[in-house]
């Protein structure tokens, strides 16, 4: 299988970390793709009408996206303990943590649009502040709600890859005053799956170029 990936995407990393955790990473050929809503990538659009990574390409079968669905699919391909619990409160806890992680990434991306990605005259500070409010409220929620002692599940993978990316991009800090969350994250980051998938690279946007040079990166 091929994974359309991006070395600086938290969602793509989530799918790849999940693959490592369930022992399937060696079945994937990882192919880097740059994506941005302002710079169309036809290779990605050919497989996903949303033009986003990650996308999992399967031989003789239709592509699978997004990261939630890729993880759910990979979870059906291995013989070990399911990382998406099949029933009970564990299931809802794992899926809810995953949902918060998805929201963290979305909010972080929006903050970046309103701070570095959008040309300065088009930025809207109240929107930036609203998304920062979602980040900090979600950090607080995770600090008190994340089931840090239970066996690794998809929610852990999603939260760790989201927090890793937020830190990588210098977005609002999640550590100060949230020791439980920070300690858990520091431990999770030591896992082989996380160490095998470091983030790197800049976002490549298109759109209007400033007279002085490139579009914001």
Ligand X SMILES: N[C@@H](CCC(=O)N[C@@H](CS)C(=O)NCC(=O)O)C(=O)O
HEC secondary structure over the chain = CEEEECCCCHHHHHHHHHHHHCCCHHHCEEEECCCECCECCHHHHCCCCCCCCCEEECCCCCCECCHHHHHHHHCCCCCCCCCCCCCHHHHHHHHHHHHHHHHHHHHHHHHHHHHHHCCHHHCCHHHHHHHHHHHHHHHHHHHHHCCCCCCCCHHHHHHHHHHHHHHHCCCCCCCCCCHHHHHHHHHHHCCHHHHCCCCCCCCCCCCCCCCCCCCCC
Rule CB under 6 A: is residue 63 a binding residue for ligand X? no
* Closest CB 134 distance from ligand X, rounded Å: 16
Options 13, 17, 25, 68; binder of ligand X; rule CB under 6 A: 68
77-116 mask for ligand X (x: CB under 6 A)?
Answer: -------------------------x--------------
Q: Which parts of 28-47 interact with ligand X (CB under 6 A)?
A: 35-37
Give the total of residues touching ligand X (CB under 6 A): 14
Rule CB under 6 A: is residue 66 a binding residue for ligand X? yes
Options 67, 110, 161, 193; binder of ligand X; rule CB under 6 A: 67
Rule CB under 6 A: is residue 6 a binding residue for ligand X? yes
Q: Which stretch binds ligand X (CB under 6 A): 52-60, 141-149, 175-183, 206-214?
A: 52-60
Rule CB under 6 A: is residue 48 a binding residue for ligand X? no
Q: Which stretch binds ligand X (CB under 6 A): 49-57, 80-88, 93-101, 187-195?
A: 49-57
């Amino acid at each position: 299988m091929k994974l359309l990936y991006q070395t600086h995407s938290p969602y793509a990393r989530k799918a790849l970390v999940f693959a490592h955790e369930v022992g399937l990473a060696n079945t994937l050929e990882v192919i880097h793709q740059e994506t941005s809503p302002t710079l169309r990538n036809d290779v990605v659009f050919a497989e996903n009408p949303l033009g986003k990574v990650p996308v999992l390409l399967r031989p003789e079968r239709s592509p699978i996206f997004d990261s939630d669905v890729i993880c759910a699919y990979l979870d059906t391909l291995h013989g070990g303990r399911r990382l998406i619990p099949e029933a009970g409160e564990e299931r809802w806890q794992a899926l809810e943590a995953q949902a918060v992680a998805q929201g963290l990434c979305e909010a972080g991306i929006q903050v970046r649009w309103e701070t570095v990605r959008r040309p300065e005259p088009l930025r809207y500070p109240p929107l930036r502040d609203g998304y920062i409010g979602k980040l900090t409220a979600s950090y607080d929620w995770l600090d008190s709600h994340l089931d840090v002692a239970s066996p690794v599940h998809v929610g852990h993978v999603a939260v760790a890859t989201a927090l890793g990316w937020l830190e990588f991009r210098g977005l609002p800090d999640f550590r100060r005053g949230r020791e439980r969350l920070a300690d858990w994250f520091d431990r999770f980051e030591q896992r082989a799956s996380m160490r095998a998938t470091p983030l790197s690279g800049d976002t490549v946007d298109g759109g209007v170029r400033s007279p002085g040079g490139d579009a914001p990166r």
